[in-house]
Amino acid sequence: MEMPLILLLTAALIATQVYWHRRLARQEACSRGEGDALRQRLGETETRARAEQHALLNSMVDGVLWLDAKGCIRLANDACAGLLGLGGEFAGRPLIEAVRSHELASLVERLAREPVVRGFELKLPGAEERWIAVNAAALRDGDEESGGLILVFHDLTRLKQLERTRQEFVANVSHELRTPLSLIQGFAESLLGGAKDDPALNEKFLRIIDRNAQRLALLTEDLLTISELEAGRSQLKIEPVDLRSLVGEVFEEFQPQAAAKQVELESDLAPVVVSADRGRLHQVLSNLIDNGIKYGRVGGVVRVGADSAAADELEVRVADDGPGLPPEALNRVFERFYRVDKARSREEGGTGLGLSIVKHIVQAHGGRVWVESAPGRGATFKFLLPRAPMPAGGPG
């Protein structure tokens, strides 16, 4: 199996630099009697070659590190310095002193026994999690003397984060599906086992099955929605939307749910028109108002308002006066399946995807969404939307 192309290229560059250095030394040794002109020309040639090599190495996304035979740093490109956190003057320092990683030191030791090491993965020390893949090779010059070691680093941090997100997503979906499926299966077995002959149990069990079937349908619908939004397959139909009228429609739909919890739905919106996909904006408002009712206090208020954020933007807010959010939740509530209070969320019947859907819809409109909250002071969700010109005669 061939050595990775980037490793070959880097080794060739360094070998070229070694060649020019040794050629200059030999020429200087044999040409001292020929004057300074030849030495100057050779020096200029080597300087140009070194500058070109450094420019090429520093343009690479992957990190490149060249160690001498004693394990000291001879060269590191900008990407390598950033990945390994090399600061100050690192040339000539032992690698283990510059980078406190015993795994990296063990890799260097392996190269004394193996000419090439490919696909070596390690986690770098530090406050932030960083993963890298290393391809390494021992260099030999024409006299079979050690030319040191070349290591090429590829940043795996983003891939690791995506893989962890995928695993968490699969685990969360499995967990969310397992509970309603288990209940449906259990009560169906009870009915088949004889409970169907008891009218009281019959109706009770069927209602539980129906409720959990609706929960599965809602979860499936939300999963399809967020999949379309994340993949960019959801096409927005942008049009002028009367925001006050749309909020009134959503309030009407949620009035029974709000009344059951004695929650007042209030709006202080002035007549305003935004440029949006009406159906998707309805979904955003529905999710935020639903959250306000579910997680606000009994007898509380959910209030919708808006302010001008800029000449062409509107900042919409949905606020409740419930228990609020802890500080650590403010940056995580828009993550898929994140729940501040897992037990209460499942009791209220949420899928854990509503706020993530809100985030993706708002971003698809070119806006952003955030939350302002503190324990005991309620939560206010805010998002930006582009304004549309007010039609003649006001909103239709």
Please check whether residues 183 and 95 belong to one and the same domain: no
Please check whether residues 120 and 180 belong to one and the same domain: no
Q: What three-state secondary structure class fits 274? A: strand
Please check whether residues 240 and 379 belong to one and the same domain: yes
Q: What is the mean pLDDT of residues 364-389?
A: 89
pLDDT digits (tens, 9 = 90+) for 254-306: 999 999 999 999 999 988 899 999 999 999 999 999 999 998 889 999 999 99
Is the confidence at residue 237, as pLDDT, over 60?
yes
Q: Give the count of domains, the chain.
A: 3
pLDDT digits (tens, 9 = 90+) for 10-35: 555 555 555 555 555 555 555 554 55
Structure tokens at 70: 């004693």
C-beta pairs of 110-114 under 8 Å, 24+ apart in sequence: 111/136, 111/137, 111/138, 111/149, 112/138
pLDDT digits (tens, 9 = 90+) for 143-155: 555 678 888 989 8
Q: What three-state secondary structure class fits 280? A: helix
pLDDT of amino acid 328: 84
> Do residues 303 and 319 lie in contact, with contact meaning Cβ atoms separated by under 8 Å?
yes
Please check whether residues 90 and 208 belong to one and the same domain: no
Q: Specify which residues 134 forms β-bridges with.
A: 120, 153
Please check whether residues 277 and 365 belong to one and the same domain: yes
For 196-333, list the strands marked E by DSSP: 238-242, 264-267, 273-277, 301-310, 313-320
Mark which of 211, 234, 257 sits at the end of a domain. 234
Is the confidence at residue 168, as pLDDT, over 50?
yes
Please check whether residues 67 and 188 belong to one and the same domain: no
Please check whether residues 89 and 107 belong to one and the same domain: yes
Please check whether residues 286 and 372 belong to one and the same domain: yes
Q: Specify which residues 318 forms β-bridges with.
A: 304, 381
Structure tokens at 323: 């228990």
Distance, in Å, from the CA atom of 85 to the CA atom of 77, rounded to the nearest integer, reads 12
Q: How many CA atoms lie within 13 Å of 356's alpha carbon, on the beta-carbon side?
A: 20
Is the confidence at residue 217, as pLDDT, over 80?
yes
pLDDT of amino acid 259: 93
Structure tokens at 39: 């030495």
pLDDT of amino acid 249: 94
Q: What three-state secondary structure class fits 20? A: helix
Average pLDDT for the chain: 80
CATH of the domain at 182: 1.10.287.130
pLDDT of amino acid 164: 82
For 332-393, list the strands marked E by DSSP: 369-373, 379-386
Domain hosting 379: range is 235-396
Please check whether residues 140 and 20 belong to one and the same domain: yes
Mark which of 189, 207, 234 sits at the end of a domain. 234
Please check whether residues 62 and 79 belong to one and the same domain: yes
pLDDT digits (tens, 9 = 90+) for 81-137: 888 888 777 888 888 788 878 888 888 888 888 888 888 888 887 777 889 899 988
CATH of the domain at 70: 3.30.450.20
pLDDT digits (tens, 9 = 90+) for 325-350: 888 888 888 888 887 665 555 555 56
Distance, in Å, from the CA atom of 152 to the CA atom of 8, rounded to the nearest integer, reads 10
Please check whether residues 161 and 61 belong to one and the same domain: no
Please check whether residues 255 and 376 belong to one and the same domain: yes
Mark which of 178, 203, 234 sits at the end of a domain. 234
